[in-house]
Structure 1
């Protein structure tokens, strides 16, 4: 067991598989959070005035530090959240790709650029640039404790902000590792600070006077974060829950679709906001698809290829969803209630589940999925869009993938591959509806942590002096003529 710090108020971190206490961390109170924000605020100006290239070089040093320590970091992830080490390494690699993109491209996305003027403002030279907000608070999740928070940390830093990071109370060691790696790499700029604790610490960060909060977590907790931030008019980026679906058309590659469904539903023990929880399959290929899914899933075992359920309370949610589905006439063709043993839940596949069952309408966050037969893709689209969660959707179709994707209400759609949009550095990631708002990744992710600054410089006096009490009747007549010419013509 690691004793991180001796203090009056601490909390325990337990191994999810065994319940063994593996570390204790400080439960930072409001005063300590305020101190961290104040230190970040002091360091922010020197970081903000660096050029994009200078910040990029420093962030590349951090990236190198993480890459060289990836094996150690993967072990910390495994210890705290139970994720297999190989999956933890994969998460780290994906996170580093986005960090590299942000460091390289922040200048081209956010830097000053000339903007065109129109006929009425031809005497003005116009520019647009994106300026850092100042200090950003990031509240991270435990299920992807590197990939998800680093999407906010790295983009906020690349944009010129200082950051105060509160990792999940289930994975504070991962958060501490990332911050210490930054301190080793960028010793001269103390712009990334760590606070640890439970929801009270997160609430204190919301009320600490930071210039924005980047939050990732459940929709219910997100609403509490928004309420706390609303009191000080602190803007928020909300990455919330999902109930993502996978659609299989009649002409799909069934082998690839089944493989994607199994990985999407079961990897990380189903504890993925972008995970596949619902599958809608064209009736012509339903039986074949189901057979392939069962064949692919039968060898995926909790305790081997997937880990335990990290949050103890989530097991009761998973059990309730399975029970409700069975009570409503659904069938477990793999797993079921007997698949739950302590914190380990074996893969469970449910069929014939009504669309108003909890397993279809609410986020399960476990290694389960429902598979439903549909008459056609019109019905599939209707059922997918009926959810209040609109984070991501995966479609397998050879001929109509693009057409189906355009009709889907979601922040991201992947055709013939599982959540590929989350891995492409130039694309934004985020949801709609109860899945949240705002974006990480890509140009939108950089702009998320800035404000646009518009600047004009008058190059010469306008022949039409409009904004003055000395405006003449001649000018008014010219304006009326121009109004008709520019806007009043019939189309």
Structure 2
């Protein structure tokens, strides 16, 4: 996901003030102090103190606090949605949709943490039948979250809400492009829970140096969303302290329009997946593979869906500006490379790039080795390729070094095709469905990241299992874990083991 700046060293000199800017107008929305390494360390220290009180609340107490936070966000949705529109650039309805998705996930995490993380008894087995065996899930402690700007609430919330529900404190570094949103989000938690100590969920603000300081601060886990290149640097830095992490990185997500697809439904869904949020969606479609017999029909339907799709900042705009100015040149270079290598623009073209807006661009006949196919574009462009059959579509979809999400349209073969895709998530006969289902884990494979947020796996991502074996009573003469063990005991055990395990054929 191309949503982050370079990870810098904590010693880098930075401006003491970070300006929050409206990407559509360049207007300065707010100014925030930049937190240096000492300030980050202090924030983590406060979080560590607060984590004890948060942990002691237990599942029920944390559930109440998280649901109060949810209510506050819902009751202030208009205010927060307007801030998202202003600082991130997306239309107001899309901002509200993002907020509600985050609310639904927080509600799920709050209500399901007890079920999935409570102590669990397991069988001790025959040899230690006099033992009780228990697995207890412990919070890791303090989680450092480094978030993106494209979905400045929904995406980091997948780590924040689940880490909090699991009993951890969180220190959140929002993107420098959406600092006001991140701070509003954390302040909302405090305002909804004034009786709780400060530091349970707090923010640190800044550029790459602040993120690097958070990684080096002694947090117990790092959750990062951003580019694969920066993810690798964070992983290397975290390795110095053996800090575990969860990374959601780049995507080059493919959509397959199979030989029995509903073409109109596929065109409608994939058009939204490709161009919503100005194409700045890590799980949005960037490559489309259509079986040849449906290709002409699909391209015509796809173009038709885009007739009224246009960027802008007004109430009628389909999507907003590019949030990060430097991404405009990335999009421009991918379009130019695709055309230079023989691709054709059937919607838009190089002239569609007019910063801070980029109009929809649809490219066909683009070679598979072009930047528009191999690298994350993260803008309102998409490639369409004809394929001989479903198998070729699967093979090309799997050929990317990225493996985050995918889409399949097929009336009868959707699940069969989905199971052959090397990705973390697939939506069948719709787009991005997995992102809205709180019980489903979210994450990638290969260079798209490691670990999972959301669902039961997302809760467990922020705990560590503690295994406890308690001897309930002693069996005279049957001591195995002792120097006083008798030869007759071992002889008996050998006979029992042979009867149990020695007759398999």
What range describes the TM-score normalised by the shorter chain of this pair?
over 0.9
Q: Between Structure 1 and Structure 2, how many residues are aligned? A: 485
Report the equivalent of 1:268.
277
- SS at 2:127's partner residue? helix
1:180 equivalent to 2:193? Answer no
- SS at 2:299's partner residue? helix
Report the equivalent of 1:3.
none
**Cα distance per residue 1:336-389 (max 9 Å; x no partner):** 100011211000000000111100000000000000011111111110111011
Report the equivalent of 2:137.
130
Deviation of the 1:8 alpha carbon: 7.3
**Cα distance per residue 1:410-468 (max 9 Å; x no partner):** 10111111021111111100000011011111110111111011112112224632111
Report the equivalent of 2:11.
none
In structure 2, how many angstroms separate the alpha carbons of the residues matched to 1:413 and 1:146? 22
Change (3 A) 1:413 1:8: closer
1:423 equivalent to 2:436? Answer yes
Report the equivalent of 2:307.
298
Contact 2:334 2:372 in 1 (8 A): yes
**Bigger shift: residues 205-214 or 476-485:** 476-485
Deviation of the 1:489 alpha carbon: 2.4
Report the equivalent of 1:76.
83
Deviating beyond 6 angstroms after TM superposition, the runs of 4 or more aligned structure 1 residues are none
In structure 2, how many angstroms separate the alpha carbons of the residues matched to 1:322 and 1:8? 35
**Cα distance per residue 1:234-258 (max 9 Å; x no partner):** 1111011100010011111111100
In structure 1, how many angstroms separate the alpha carbons of the residues matched to 2:299 and 2:81? 34
Report the equivalent of 2:413.
400
In structure 2, how many angstroms separate the alpha carbons of the residues matched to 1:21 and 1:8? 16
**Bigger shift: residues 183-192 or 299-308:** 183-192
**Cα distance per residue 1:158-184 (max 9 Å; x no partner):** 111111111000000001101111111
1:288 to 289, 294, 297: 297
- SS at 1:407's partner residue? coil
Deviation of the 1:484 alpha carbon: 2.5
Q: Which runs of 5+ in 2 are unaligned?
A: 1-13
1:251 equivalent to 2:260? Answer yes
Deviation of the 1:481 alpha carbon: 2.3
Aligned positions of 1:81-480 closer than 5 A: 81-189=88-196, 190=198, 191-303=200-312, 304-462=317-475, 464-480=478-494
In structure 2, how many angstroms separate the alpha carbons of the residues matched to 1:479 and 1:12? 72
Contact 2:15 2:34 in 1 (8 A): no
- SS at 2:293's partner residue? coil
Report the equivalent of 1:36.
43
- SS at 2:278's partner residue? helix
1:55 to 54, 59, 62: 62
- SS at 2:106's partner residue? helix
In structure 2, how many angstroms separate the alpha carbons of the residues matched to 1:299 and 1:330? 24
Deviation of the 1:403 alpha carbon: 1.1
1:25 to 17, 23, 32: 32
> CA RMSD, aligned part only?
1.2
Deviation of the 1:34 alpha carbon: 0.7
Report the equivalent of 1:490.
504
Report the equivalent of 2:5.
none
Deviation of the 1:482 alpha carbon: 2.9
TM-score (norm 1): 0.97
In structure 2, how many angstroms separate the alpha carbons of the residues matched to 1:121 and 1:273? 49
